[in-house]
Amino acid sequence: MPDPVLALDLGGTKIRAALVHGVGTDEVEADGEHAVVRLERIAEVPTPAREGAPAILGAALELAAQVRGGATVRAVGISSAGVVDTARGRITHATDSLAGWAGTALTAPFAERFGVPVAALNDVHAHGLGEARFGVGRGRDSLLLMAVGTGIGGCQVQGGRAVLGAHGAAGHVGHVPVPEAEGVPCPCGRTGHLEGLASGPGILRLAARLGASAAPHDGRELAAAAARGEPTALEAYRLAGHATGRVLGALLNVLDSDAVALTGGVADADVPVWREALRAGIAAEAMDAVASTPVLAASAGSHAALLGAAVRVLEAPPAPSIPPPAT
């Protein structure tokens, strides 16, 4: 059995790491179809998001060393928030959720520390790749992943490879304009984008604008209010779901994916009115040729980004590794 991949997922609230066994095109079951994958030593720590890039990198390196322990690893794969220049292993753009993250040289410190090949990609790209290879995308030629939670992101996987784009920014589906969001501020600094209206925080703000008598503090409270039949909560989810569906229908017109995988806190919440509105929004925009595209709940689980990061480093290896320091 080949040595495992050390995989990390750097997010705005937590950093996860694990040893990933059985990822690689040459490692399959006897039936020749399904990869045998196993994660071990899964661990996580809070992200010191407000302390700046050196603190974030330090926490990630220490967690990686802890998870590796005395094991030999063949590569390090990193999933990270922000726009990633995959060729250089750098963060080119990032939101304020990770202070000072833009401009960070991400892969070099790991190569220096562990002396193996290292590759990094955006967290939603990693999630999409993991879902395509080990979730509902398995056996399909293409998959569009849409993550609807604190933000809204996406990833198109074609032929088993994530579409990254010329600048590593492909899949920012939350920054597609929709009429329902006209005048609504977006975290990117513009107005009128889907994310400002239909992300988790966007729906909370929408409910407040609609006149919620007791403004919910988080998504769980808002979902509970919708379950009780409170009109403003229901209307907020309806508007957000319909706008999300419209964008999804338009994306299907462009990409013609085999299937769509939905994930994220909003998508995973038990809010029937949101899902009904999503379907209606898709129907309003999708051409007949793509209107019946399956829209499925993601199934690769909470570690999909770790799996995607492990796949990426093995199938698109970076420059030769840096040898570890002499001891």
**pLDDT at position 190, please?**
95
Residue type, 117: P
Cα-flanking dihedrals φ and ψ of residue 148, to 5°?
-120, 105
Instruction: State residue 97's pLDDT score.
Output: 86
Q: What is the pLDDT, as a whole number, of residue 327?
A: 42
d(CA 198, CA 195): 5
Query: Six-digit token pair at 97?
Result: 């959720």
How far apart are the C-alpha atoms of 279 and 291, rounded to whole Å? 10
Give the separation between CA 85 and CA 135, rounded to whole angstroms.
Answer: 26
> At residue 32, does pLDDT exceed 50?
no
Residue 297 has a pLDDT of: 96
Cα 143–149–152 angle (5° rounding)? Answer: 60
Note the CATH architecture for domain 5-127+303-315: 2-Layer Sandwich (3.30)
pLDDT in tens, 119-171: 999 999 999 999 999 999 999 999 999 999 989 999 999 999 999 999 999 99
Where residue 213 falls among pLDDT bands split at 50, 70, 90?
low
Rounded to an integer, what distance in angstroms lies between the CA atom of residue 73 and that of residue 66? 13
Average pLDDT over residues 173-198: 95
Question: What residues contact residue 78 under an 8 Å CB cut-off, 6+ apart?
Answer: 7, 8, 9, 10, 60, 106, 107, 110, 118, 119, 120, 121, 309
Please give the average per-residue pLDDT across 306-326, as a whole number.
72
Residue 203 has pLDDT above 90, yes or no: yes
The helix/strand count (H/E) of the chain reads as 10, 12
Let me know: does 19 contact 87? Beta carbons within 8 Å: no
Query: Which backbone phi and psi does 172 adopt, to 5 degrees?
Result: -75, 65
Every domain range in the chain assigned CATH 3.30.420.40: 5-127+303-315, 139-297
For domain 139-297, the CATH class is alpha beta
pLDDT at residue number 219: 86
Q: Look at residue 277 and tell me whether its pLDDT is greater than 70.
A: yes
Average confidence score pLDDT of the chain: 91
Name the token pair of 282: 């898709």
